[in-house]
Structure formats: C-alpha cells, structure tokens
C-alpha cells in the first residue's frame, strides 16, 4: 500500500528518517532549509487532526505522529499545486492545495520554520528539471510480476488486428520519429499505401500526424482513423497522397464520415493559420460533420471554475447551480460524449468508416476515438483492456501528458499548455460506467487512480509528451510503469467492479443533461465524508461475494456429495 505515496500511509518512523537522510545527500539538500519541524498539526476535513513531526525530503512532504499505528501523511511535492501562508503570532499555517484537488492545512510553530518549509515546498513542487522527478528515484517495494513497459506493445496490439483482417499493415516509417514527432515508431496503415505516400501525407497534416488506424470494428469491418487537421490553408491546398491514404480505407462504393471536433467557424479560422479541413471537392467520398469540443485552454478555465464552485461553502443552492452552469464543465462532458456517440454510431449503425480530427489531433480527437471504443468494444471495458486503450490512444498516440498535467485547478501561475483533457475523458468514462454499472470490469477507483497518477506519480508512465520523449528519457529502463503496479492480483482486486458481467454488446449512453451528473468521486471527494457510501459499497460487495462464491460452493459441495451417494446407491439397492 505504501507505494502510492500520495495516499495516507502507515510507516515506521525509522524508515522515514533513513529516507530523509538519503535524500539530503542528493541534490535537493540545498533546497531544503529546514528539513524537520516538531509539533506540526495537520488538519483535513472529516479526518482527525494529527500532531507530529514534519519532514521534507527531496520528493515528499511527510508528517508522522511518531506513534505506532497512527497515520502518516506522505505527499509528493509534485502533487502540490499551490500553497498559501498565514500567520497568527508566531504560529504559521500553510494551506497546501493538491493537484488531486485535496486541500490540507499544516499548523507550524515558529515563523522562520514555517517560511522555510513554505519556500522549500514551493521550489520542490515546481522543479523544471525532468531528471529530478520522483519516478527516477523511486524503487519499487513490490514484486513486479509483469513489466508494465512491455505489457502493451504496438506489435502485440497489431497481432490481434491481423487475426481479424489483412487490409492493414504495421509501418515503421516513423521509426526514428522523423515523419511525426508525436507518433510512435510503429503505426497501422492501409496495406495498399506505401511509406512514401505516408511521408507525403504527413507533410500535409498538422504536426505530421497523417491518418492512422485507431480502431477496427470486428462486427462489420469498419474502421476509425485519427489524424491532425489538413494543412489546406487559405489557398485550399490539396494533397493527392492524403486523399489516396484515406480513400484506401473505404470499401468500394462506400462513403465515410470525417468528424471534425471543431465548429465550422473555428475550422474556417484555422485556415488563416495554415490549417483547415477536407473540402467536399477533394474528398467527395467523405461527409464532414463538425462538432463543438472546446480547445484545451478553455477546458482549463472550466476546471478552475468548477473546483472553485465546489470549494465555495458559502453559497446557497441556487448559486451553486449557476456556478456549476457557469463553469461549463458538464457542457464539455456532454459535448465530448455526444461526439463519441456520433463516431460510434457512424461505425456501428451506419456501417461507415470514420476519420476523426480536430486541430493538432492530440486532445479532443483522442477523447472521441477512445470513448467511441469504450462504447463499441467490450474489451476496452476490462481492466487490462482499458490500460491498453490508454496506452494506445493516449500515450502512444502522443497526448502531451506532461504539458497538460503540470498544473491543476489551484495553481496561481499562468497556465501555459495545461488542460484537463484526460480528466474529461475519465469523467466521460465515469458517466458511461454510471449508466452501465455492470458492464465494466473496473470500478471508479481505477479512473480516480489514473487521474491521480497523471498529475503526480512515482511511476514513469505519464512522464513526457510523446513516445519519442519517453524513449529519450529511457523511462522503461529507469522508471517503473504504473501498469506493473496495477496488474498485480491484489491491486486488480481492489480496482475491480463487483457487479461486472461481461457484456459483449455496444453500449449506448444517454447524453441527456438529466443523465449526466457531476463526478462527485473526484470533485467532491475531499468535501464530504464517504463513510456511509463506502459502507454501502462494502455491503454490496459482500452480498455479491456471498452469493457468487460461498453459496455456490455450498451448493456444489452438496451436489457432489449427492452425486457420490447416487453412484453408490445401486450398490446399496442390489442386495
């Protein structure tokens, strides 16, 4: 358990001190002016206050009561989004606001100590150097059964595809990341299209993101592709190779759909900056549909407003609703889900292939393609399958996690590229999960875990912005993968949904506003006690387990005994 260091942990103090000494020897020593303060009081909503010793290490803020069997707080500096200082006499108070949206308060006796601690936290939580990040220092204290870095290789994913169709091939045109810096070395493309065509098509697409396979729908052989926007510009430039590439995915006489995640006007404006969209004239076999998923900077603003509304305790009911409305968060959720449903509908109901893109093809595009797969493909609703989906459609597909998740809702500094794109995706998955509580192998705990680890983690999985960056950082050698941690039996059990029954159908979520709720498990997680809900959950697990296991066992035992008796019976009756 003590791996997830941003959870509350129980640890012997000796370990803590050793850990601290080790870290002090490292490059962080000069940043930590006061490594240790006694008599610090930790206050958190709904939890008892803890008084103890505060220790700062290179990567953690630790509070230990130095008593057996009491809680300790281990907080990754990377999880700290913002801090506030307050003084009353010589008693200082630091309010720590975390990226997982938790807010805690530390009362520190001594003004100097408090100031030192605060400035150290500020520096340590905003270190720019990637090489100083915790995953490089973290050593797993659990046995790695399966190396997560090798769990979801593109080659393996392609083997599944090969078993279904021969129309696609794996191309290594991007093996040195020269064609597209945000793509992985291996991508799936139509068999009839050669690498040269791919290179030319890449030159015509934003960021070199030429159309690649995202999903193959086994039921009818239709596909979903994704790309960056075409660089038509104001002159309406065209590219024969690009046209050839995407037309190669169409069956004879069939039409496909291009889903542009931007509104028509936004797409029009993009032309001025060299971007654009596929014109009807050049892509006559494709019908273009525009949707309205917002750009990332607007999403970040939305998150900040939402969290502000959730943390405001003074408002009356009506203001809460209007603040929720003003944050637009739920609107984004609805829009993203609607677009994903549209893509899924085109494929499953219309029997047409789909190409999805927005501007860069690294944000809203991935939200849509990954959610459509959740809807269409039952495999994505399993624990392993969902990891594979995140790996394939987010990590390999080049979602810039590091840029997007370096700040969360509390940060005071001006956002640069931060945006809760992935969090919105998780929120949408949660909405589907809520509507189909028996169709997912995982519970919302898994989604919350992923949310936490994208913002701060001891694992290297979400570091870097693309496959090429991750390979430069040599993460698979130097860090531990989150999947290594998740795919251990005890963790799988913790993340499992007790209600799960494999459901091989397409699941169509409702996107009516009444059907979409605020994800309390993330946004109100620290604002309320979940004791009663947890109790209910445990009880539910108990009911199911009793029924499925114990009772089944008892019945089976009896049956076996009976069967035995039955075979013995003739013998008994013969005399």
**Positions in the binding site for another protein (CB under 8 A):** 310, 313, 316-318, 320-322, 324-325, 328, 330-331, 333-334, 434-439, 499, 501, 503-505, 507-510, 512-518, 520, 524, 527-529, 532-533, 535-536, 539-540, 543-544, 546-548, 551-552, 554-555, 558-559, 561-562, 565-566, 568-569, 572-573
Q: Which is nearer to another protein, 178 or 561 (CB)?
A: 561
What gap in Å lies between CA 338 and CA 341, rounded to an integer? 5
- Token pair, residue 201, equals 């098509």
Alpha helices in 125-225 (DSSP H): 154-164, 195-203
Closest approach, Cβ 323 to another protein, in A, equals 10
Q: Which is nearer to another protein, 29 or 558 (CB)?
A: 558
Closest approach, Cβ 319 to another protein, in A, equals 9
CA distances from 538 to 440, 511, 530 (A): 18, 30, 12
Q: Which is nearer to another protein, 232 or 261 (CB)?
A: 261
Strand order in the sheet with 103-109: 8-9, 72-76, 60-64, 47-56, 36-44, 103-109, 91-98, 80-88
Q: Which is nearer to another protein, 165 or 564 (CB)?
A: 564
Tokens 């013998």, located at residue: 571
Residue 394 is classified by DSSP as I
Tokens 């994903």, located at residue: 340
- Token pair, residue 559, equals 């049956």
The answer to whether the CB of 193 falls within 8 A of the CB of 170 is no
Closest approach, Cβ 503 to another protein, in A, equals 4
Q: Which is nearer to another protein, 253 or 575 (CB)?
A: 575
Q: Which is nearer to another protein, 489 or 575 (CB)?
A: 575
Closest approach, Cβ 312 to another protein, in A, equals 10
Closest approach, Cβ 530 to another protein, in A, equals 10
CB atoms inside a 10 Å sphere around CB 234: 11
What gap in Å lies between CA 98 and CA 45, rounded to an integer? 14
Q: Which is nearer to another protein, 214 or 330 (CB)?
A: 330
Closest approach, Cβ 545 to another protein, in A, equals 10
Q: Which is nearer to another protein, 159 or 549 (CB)?
A: 549
Q: Which is nearer to another protein, 309 or 486 (CB)?
A: 309
Sign of the C-alpha dihedral, residues 300, 301, 302, 305? positive
Closest approach, Cβ 389 to another protein, in A, equals 20
SS3 135: helix
Q: Which is nearer to another protein, 272 or 536 (CB)?
A: 536
Tokens 């505060």, located at residue: 54
Beta-strand pair 103-109/36-44: antiparallel
SS3 345: helix
Closest approach, Cβ 86 to another protein, in A, equals 23
- Token pair, residue 229, equals 């926007």
Closest approach, Cβ 337 to another protein, in A, equals 11
Residues in the chain: 575
239: left (phi over 0), alpha (psi -120 to 50) or beta: beta
CA distances from 292 to 259, 335, 365, 422 (A): 11, 7, 12, 17
Q: Which is nearer to another protein, 145 or 562 (CB)?
A: 562
- Token pair, residue 536, equals 């209910």
First and final CA of the chain: distance in angstroms? Answer: 64
Sign of the C-alpha dihedral, residues 174, 175, 181, 186? positive
Closest approach, Cβ 142 to another protein, in A, equals 32
SS3 220: coil
Comparing C-alpha atoms, which of 182, 233, 247, 187 is closest to residue 209?
A: 182
Q: Which is nearer to another protein, 90 or 529 (CB)?
A: 529
Closest approach, Cβ 429 to another protein, in A, equals 15
Closest approach, Cβ 492 to another protein, in A, equals 20
DSSP 183-202: S-S-EEEETT--HHHHHHHH
């Amino acid at each position: 358990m003590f791996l997830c260091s941003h959870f509350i942990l129980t640890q012997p103090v000796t370990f803590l001190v050793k850990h601290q000494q080790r870290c002090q020897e490292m490059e962080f020593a000069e940043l930590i002016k006061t490594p240790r303060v006694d008599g610090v009081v930790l206050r958190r909503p709904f939890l008892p206050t803890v008084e103890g010793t505060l220790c700062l290490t290179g990567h953690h803020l630790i509070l230990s009561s130095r008593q057996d069997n009491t809680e300790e707080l281990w907080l990754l500096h990377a999880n700290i989004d913002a801090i506030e200082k307050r003084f009353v006499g010589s008693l200082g108070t630091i309010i720590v606001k975390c990226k997982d949206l938790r807010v805690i308060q530390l009362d520190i006796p001594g003004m100097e100590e408090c100031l030192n601690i605060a400035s150290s936290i500020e520096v340590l939580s905003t270190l720019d150097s990637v090489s100083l990040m915790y995953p490089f220092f973290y050593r797993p204290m659990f046995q790695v059964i399966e190396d997560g870095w090798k769990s979801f290789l593109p080659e393996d994913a392609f083997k599944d595809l090969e078993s279904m169709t021969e129309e696609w091939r794996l191309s290594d045109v991007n093996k040195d990341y020269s064609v597209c810096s945000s793509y992985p070395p291996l991508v799936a493309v139509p068999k009839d299209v050669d690498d040269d065509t791919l290179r030319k098509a890449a030159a015509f697409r934003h960021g070199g993101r030429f159309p690649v396979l995202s999903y193959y729908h086994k039921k009818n052989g239709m596909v979903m592709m994704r790309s960056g926007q075409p660089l038509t510009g104001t002159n309406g430039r065209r590219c024969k190779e690009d046209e050839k590439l995407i037309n190669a995915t169409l069956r004879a006489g069939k039409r496909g759909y291009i889903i542009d995640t931007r509104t028509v006007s936004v797409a029009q404006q993009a032309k001025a900056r060299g971007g654009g969209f596929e014109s009807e004239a050049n892509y006559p076999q494709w019908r273009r549909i525009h949707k309205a998923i917002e750009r990332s900077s607007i999403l970040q603003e939305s998150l900040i407003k939402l969290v502000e509304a959730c943390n405001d305790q003074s408002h009356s009911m009506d203001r809460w609703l209007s603040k929720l409305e003003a944050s637009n968060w739920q609107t984004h959720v609805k829009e993203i889900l609607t677009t994903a449903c549209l893509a899924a509908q085109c494929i499953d109901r219309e029997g047409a292939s789909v190409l999805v893109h927005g501007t860069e093809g690294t944000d809203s595009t991935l939200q849509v393609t990954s959610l459509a797969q959740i809807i269409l493909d039952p495999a994505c609703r399993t624990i392993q399958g969902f990891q594979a989906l995140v790996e394939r459609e987010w990590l390999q597909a080049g979602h810039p996690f590091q840029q997007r998740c370096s700040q969360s809702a509390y940060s005071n500094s001006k956002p640069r590229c931060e945006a809760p794109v992935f969090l919105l995706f998780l929120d949408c998955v949660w909405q589907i999960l809520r509507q189909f509580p028996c169709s997912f192998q995982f519970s919302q705990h898994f989604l919350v875990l992923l949310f936490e680890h994208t913002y701060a983690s001891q694992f290297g999985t979400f570091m870097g912005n693309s496959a090429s960056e991750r390979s430069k950082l040599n993460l698979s050698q130097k860090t531990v993968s989150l999947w290594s941690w998740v795919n251990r039996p005890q963790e799988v059990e913790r993340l499992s949904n007790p209600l799960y029954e494999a459901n091989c159908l397409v699941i169509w979520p409702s996107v009516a506003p009444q059907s979409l709720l605020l994800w309390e498990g993330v946004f109100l997680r620290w604002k309320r006690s979940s004791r009663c809900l947890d109790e209910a959950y445990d009880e539910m697990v108990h009911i199911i387990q009793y029924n499925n296991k114990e009772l089944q066992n008892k019945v089976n035992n009896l049956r076996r005994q009976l069967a035995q008796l039955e075979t013995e019976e003739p013998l008994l009756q013969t005399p």
